[in-house]
Amino acid sequence: MTLYRVHMVLARNDEFPEGSSRHGYDFVVPLDEQGRLDPASWKSHAKDCVVRRFWVGEEDQRGRLRHAGTNWFIDYDETVVGDEEPFFKLDRHAVKTGEYLSVNERDGEAHTFRIVSVEPYVKA
């Protein structure tokens, strides 16, 4: 198992017909050889699985990737219930460059993102 840094940007939508590189997420995840999330490895590396949400006009938000059952979500504050942003069926998707992932953000809107890069994570 290896940890990877994933960079994804907003895919095409009505508001951004070309997508937007100024809206997206950077996160660290454990992936298996097929590019799928590895829940067992996540357990032993949960503290390394950080997430940064960047959105033009807003301050960056930082949280952690969390896992419960088959669900994966971003948790920005472990002391606050309900601030989580779930990924759509992340347990079934390969995390690879060119693929798409959806996140249901706190405002209830689901946004689709295009994965721009998946690189081995080097802890600073």
The one-digit pLDDT tens for each residue of the chain (124 residues) are 689 999 999 999 999 999 999 999 999 999 999 999 989 999 999 999 999 999 999 999 999 999 988 899 999 988 877 668 999 989 889 999 999 999 998 778 899 999 999 999 988 7
Residue 105's pLDDT is 83
CA 14 to chain centre: 22
Predicted TM-score (pTM) of the model is 0.92
Q: Are 25 and 54 in contact (CB under 8 A)?
A: yes
The position carrying tokens 């960047």 is 54
Task: Give me the number of domains the chain comprises.
Answer: 1
Contact 75, 62 (CB under 8 A): no
Instruction: List the domain range (segments joined by +) for residue 114.
Output: 2-120
DSSP conformational letter for 122:
-
pLDDT of 103: 95
